[in-house]
């Protein structure tokens, strides 16, 4: 889970900085068209701030692999990655948009989604095993 958190932090920090500093260039790379108008720039920068927030949260949680908060962060990243992959794929297929980074971003977010699912699965299996061991030791103490 630590490597996933570090990878997520780096990806989201980079994307967030790109949207904050160069929103139109980031949009052009993704969808092949620049942002037009102040409203689009503001929305892109708000999205950039959100991505920076996700990146910082992943970076600060990188050493925490056992808590419910760390599991919640990975679950949130899963929702985000699935949504972004779907939105960008729709932009390409349904709207005919195409930027040089569009399909690589779809693949990246799809792969990150699979990685999140694998980490969550391991986390839930470990939690179930820990609970089983704890319950068994409680039963043994109760029998004595």
- Tell me which DSSP letter residue 64 carries: -
Whole-prediction pTM:
0.83
CB-based contact 98:32 (threshold 8 Å): yes
18 in Cβ contact with 34 (< 8 Å): no
pLDDT, one tens digit for every residue, the chain (144 residues): 789 999 999 999 999 999 999 999 999 999 999 999 999 999 999 999 999 999 999 999 998 878 889 899 999 999 999 999 999 999 999 999 999 999 999 999 999 999 999 999 987 776 666 666 666 666 566 655
Sorted by where each begins, the domain ranges of the chain are: 2-143
What's the rounded Cα separation, in Å, for the pair 30 and 17? 15
pLDDT attached to residue 123: 79
Task: Give residue 67's pLDDT.
Answer: 85
For residues 52 and 17, the answer to whether their CB atoms sit within 8 Å is yes
Place of tokens 């939690």: 127
Please state, in angstroms and rounded to a whole number, the distance separating the CA atoms of residues 103 and 93: 11
In the numeric block, the tokens 């470990």 are attached to 126
Cα–Cα dist 19/39, whole Å:
14
Please give the C-alpha separations between residue 11 and each of 7, 32, 53, 88, 106, in angstroms, as whole numbers.
6, 20, 12, 16, 13
């Amino acid at each position: 889970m630590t490597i996933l958190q570090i990878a997520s932090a780096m990806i989201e920090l980079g994307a967030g900085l790109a949207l904050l500093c160069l929103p139109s260039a980031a949009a052009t790379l993704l969808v092949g068209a620049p942002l037009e108008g102040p409203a689009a720039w503001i929305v892109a920068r708000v999205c950039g701030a959100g991505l920076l927030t996700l990146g910082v949260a992943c970076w600060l949680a990188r050493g925490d692999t056992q808590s419910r908060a760390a599991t919640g962060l990975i679950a949130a990243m899963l929702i985000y990655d699935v949504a972004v992959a779907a939105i960008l794929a729709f932009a390409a297929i349904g709207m005919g948009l195409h930027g040089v980074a569009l399909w690589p971003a779809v693949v990246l977010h799809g792969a990150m989604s699979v990685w999140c699912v694998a980490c969550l699965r391991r986390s839930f299996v470990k939690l179930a095993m820990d609970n089983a061991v704890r319950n068994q030791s409680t039963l043994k103490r109760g029998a004595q």
